[in-house]
Structure formats: C-alpha cells, structure tokens
A and B are shown apart, each in its own frame.
Chain A
Amino acid sequence: MGRDSCEAPFISPATLRWLFLAVIVVVWELVPRLGLVPSVMLAPASEAMIAGFQDFGTFARALGITFGQLASALIFAYGIGALAGLLLGSVYFLRETLLPIVSSIYAVPLVIVYPLLTAWVGIGPESKVIFGALYGFFPMALSVAAGVQTVDRQYILAARSMGARTSQILFQIMLPASVPSILSGLRIGGAMTAIGVVVAEMMAATGGIGFLITQNRTMFNTAEVYFGIFLVLILTGLLDMFIRLMERCFTNWYPKET
C-alpha cells in the first residue's frame, strides 16, 4: 500500500529508529567529554553506567520498588478508569452530570493534592500508588467515555433489533467498538501514571528511583542522577512494549499499516 508510489527506502524505518537512539547515546557521551558542557550538568553515558553498576544493589532495589508501585497504580488507573469511562459515556444521566466535572478536574494540576495525600496515608508506597493511579485515571476514563459516546448508532440499533439486552449491548457492542479509544487511554493513561509515580517519589518518599534521583542530585552525584533517569526510561520503554502488545492483540480488524 502506497509502496508503489514511492521508492523503496534505503534503510528500513526500524533500523533508522535504532540508529537515531545510537546517535543520542553517542552525543550524550561526547558532549561532556569534549568539554562542551561541564560534567556536573551532564555526565557522559559511560560514567553514568559505571556509577550505576558500582551501586547496583541500591539501584536494583529502587527499580523494584518503582516497578511494583507503577504496576499497582496502572491496575487501578486502567481498571477503575475503564469502568468509570464505560458508565460515564453510556449512561445518559451520568454523562450529563458527572462527565463535565471529571473532564474539568483533568485540567487541574493534581500535584497540589500530593501534600494532603502524604498527610493522610504517609510517604510510603501507598501514596505513590494512589497518586499515580489518580494521574492515570482521568485520561483513561475520559478516553473510554469519548469512545463509548461515538459508537455508531447503527451498531446499537442493529443489536437491539436482534434482541440484545442492555448488558449485551454494553459488553458486546460498546466495549469492542471503543477499542481504539481504549488503546489511546492505555497509552496516555500509562504515561500519566508513570509521571505520577516518579514525581511523587521525587517529592517525598523513602525509596524508589525518583527518590534516588532527588537524593543524588542534592549531593551533586551527577552520574548517579543520569543513571536514575536512564532507569526511568527503561521502565517507560517496558510500558510502551506492553501497550504495543495490547494493540497487536486487539486490532486485527483494522486494515494493516504496511
């Protein structure tokens, strides 16, 4: 599709992507080495790696903590968000009353409630899970609600004429028809949840990568800070892979891209 109209590319897009990443790493290494930027501001890639592996135990423990908090927060953000979105989008009364409110709250920078949250549940892992889930909940719920609202009325009429009950319409028509919006909810909601968890760790925490980054920054351990950032990128990369996997599983009824 579209292939015949343009020449076959020299290098495949996938190779180009990796090449692009490699260039970033090389620049990351060379810019501080060549003295273009002082190394307190930007530690070379190799130094960041060495720092990380010297303190491997500490970083591995932090990664485990953040991963666990992120996974739990995602379960809540996705689960409660999807259910809320399905109801908010499909039940007329809720759509008219609650949906506009939920949509306004989404615009509020939720960081403002974090101090309150820590006052209620402490600065342990619970506050990170709740805060991350809260961050991811809104985009997930709003995407699903938007998807449910735009379901083609013809599908619903056809299903009703074939005798579908309300629950059958909800789960056999509304839900599958909203898959594209649900997937975009997974993507945006996932990214927001990751932000929520890491930001919460950076503000007040006892462990996790965000906590390590803040701690090392105050001590001017630039290499360790960059290794922490590197680990956050690895986590979000994993999240991205998970979402791609979901996309591949649920969209075999779309025209294929290539």
Chain B
Amino acid sequence: MAEVTDSMAHAPISSEKFDLSVEQVSLHFETPNGVLKAVDEVSFGVETGRFVGLVGPSGCGKSSLLLMMAGLQKATFGDIIVEGEPLTGPRPQDVGVIFQESSLLPWKTASENVEFPLALRGVDKAERKQLATDMLKLVGLSGFEDRHPFELSGGMKQRVSIARGFCQDPRILLMDEPFAALDEQTRMTLGDELLRIWEGHRKTVVFVTHSLTEAVYLCDDVIVMSAQPGRILERIEIDLPRPRTYETMATADFGRLRDRIWRLIRGSE
C-alpha cells in the first residue's frame, strides 16, 4: 500500500479559507461480495479561484467524489463544506457540473441547452436568451444557436456544455473528464479555450481527467488518488507560469511534473 504523506492526510482544514472543503469523506457501496470502499477518508480543500485537478487509476472513485461534491450523491461518512455550509443536496448557485458532451438534451437547441439552468430558476425568456447568445459567442459558436446537438460535432457539443456550465454561473465548477470523448487536437484546443474563459471568470474549478498531460497543462494543483480504496496519495503544486502555451509542454519542468504523477499512480497499482 502506498504511503500517505503526513502533511496531506492530517493537515488541519479550516473551511473558511476554502470555497470547497472535503472533510474525511468516505463512500461505501454494498455489493454481493461485501462492502466496496469507493472513496476512503478523503480530505482536501480548494481555495477560491483555483484550478485543481483530480487524477488516479480508473475506478479509484474520482467520479463518485465529484458527484458527492455536487450534492448528487450522499457520502457514507464525512462532510463536504461549500461556503461554510455542509452540502445536503444540489446547490446550483454554488456548485455546477460540466459532464461529457452526451449530457446535452438532444431535443433542445444549443441555445435552449445553455439557457436551461436559467430557465429552471425562472429567469425570463428574453434575458436568458441574451445570456446564452453571449456565452455561445464566447465559446466560438455564434450562428449555431438554433442547431440541435445531432447537427454539431463532438467538439462543438462540448463547447455548448462548457457554455451551459458558465451560464449557470456557480462559484465552483466541477468537470468529470469533459474532453475524454474527443480527439487529441480538439482536446488541446478546448483545453486552451477553457483556460481562456476561466482566466476571464476565475471560477473555482475541480477537473477530473485521465490525461496526465492535460492535468499538468491546465491545473494549479493536481491531487493524485490511489486505486481502490480511493485515497489521496499526494497533492502536487504545478508551479508553471501562466499563461501556458504549447511550448510549456516541451519544457523540462513540465516533463518532470508529469513523470512524478505517473510514478505515483503506477506505484499505487
């Protein structure tokens, strides 16, 4: 079993400093072969405006953790504190989620999809349409407002998803492998666009990915998790200067950080 670094596991967490703090959270599932510990006593905090990555082997509980942070799944033990209050269910003004592109509603147009979180909270039609149009423009989809998802490419659909997340305008945005279904080039472009929008809006972000390159490229910190039971191995600060570009990826520092994460994950399996 990999050793858990002392500073991480027992760091006192004062939730005031943080937009989001995960405190001693465990998630157990009852299965025919006994209890499955999907997430095991995980604690970390995310400071306001920080872009934090979450990586680890497949099945280590990243998605489960994200669902709990969104208030969509109840933790077996522990608390998730958002804005000083423990989460008991979804709080759309505080926490939003950007899923993979397949979560767009196929019967709604791009604009209606982006408007949907606003429609749910009763924002009037003209106002939300304007906001959606602006947001679609920001992700480079002007002129595609009235298209249905089946008429858009995978990359375009994911842009709509991102626009929807930002249009909901929560303080914290959670993303679960948002670019996983896309090809390499689209993925790179969208990563850059996400950073550009984030620089403008400065939301607190938790970003799950299985691509280590993507994690190092996008994040301020990367939290590395171990295979089952899902625990935190280490939190690595990515001290590469921003704005980052394609050249950043070729630097020695970049390679060193990615290797370090890779060794941690491989060691835990």
Residues on A facing B (Cβ under 8 Å): 152, 154-155, 157-164, 168, 172-173, 176-177, 179, 252-255
Contacts and interface: CB of A to CB of B under 8 A. Distances in A.
B120 interface: yes
A253 B148 contact: yes
22 contacts: A157-B99, A157-B103, A158-B97, A158-B99, A160-B90, A161-B70, A161-B97, A162-B116, A162-B120, A162-B168, A163-B90, A163-B117, A163-B121, A164-B120, A168-B120, A172-B120, A176-B105, A179-B107, A252-B148, A253-B107, A253-B148, A253-B149
Given A157-B72, A161-B70, A163-B90, 18 more contacts: A154-B100, A154-B103, A155-B103, A155-B105, A157-B99, A157-B103, A158-B97, A162-B90, A162-B120, A163-B91, A163-B93, A163-B117, A164-B120, A172-B120, A176-B107, A177-B107, A253-B107, A254-B150
A197 B210 CA distance: 59
Nearest to B168: A162
Contacts of B90: 160-163
Across chains A and B, which 8 residue pairs bring their CB atoms closest together, nearest first? A163-B92, A162-B117, A154-B103, A158-B103, A161-B97, A253-B107, A253-B148, A176-B107
Contacts of A164: 120
B84 interface: no
A161 B72 contact: yes
Interface string B119-163: 011000000000000000000000000001110000000000000
B39 interface: no
B120 A163 contact: yes
Nearest to B109: A253
Nearest to A153: B103
B95 interface: yes
A164 B70 CA distance: 13
A255 B149 CA distance: 10
A10 B28 CA distance: 64
B117 A154 contact: no
B106 interface: yes
Given A157-B99, A163-B90, A253 B72 contact: no
B103 A253 contact: no
A96 to B, nearest CB: 18
A110 B148 CA distance: 43
A154 B102 contact: yes
B96 interface: yes
A251 B95 CA distance: 33
A131 B193 CA distance: 61
A131 B201 CA distance: 62
Nearest to A158: B103
Nearest to A165: B120
B150 A162 contact: no
A101 B116 CA distance: 37
Contacts of A177: 105, 107
Interface in B155-176: 168
Given A176-B105, A253-B150, A255-B150, A160 B120 contact: no
A72 to B, nearest CB: 30
B173 to A, nearest CB: 11
B96 A162 contact: yes
A171 to B, nearest CB: 12
Contacts of B92: 161-163
A161 B168 CA distance: 10
A177 B148 CA distance: 14
Nearest to A254: B150
Contacts of A161: 70-72, 90, 92, 95-97
B120 to A, nearest CB: 5
A13 to B, nearest CB: 23
Interface in B204-250: none
A65 B104 CA distance: 47
A254 B103 CA distance: 16
Contacts of B105: 155, 173, 176-177
A163 B168 CA distance: 10
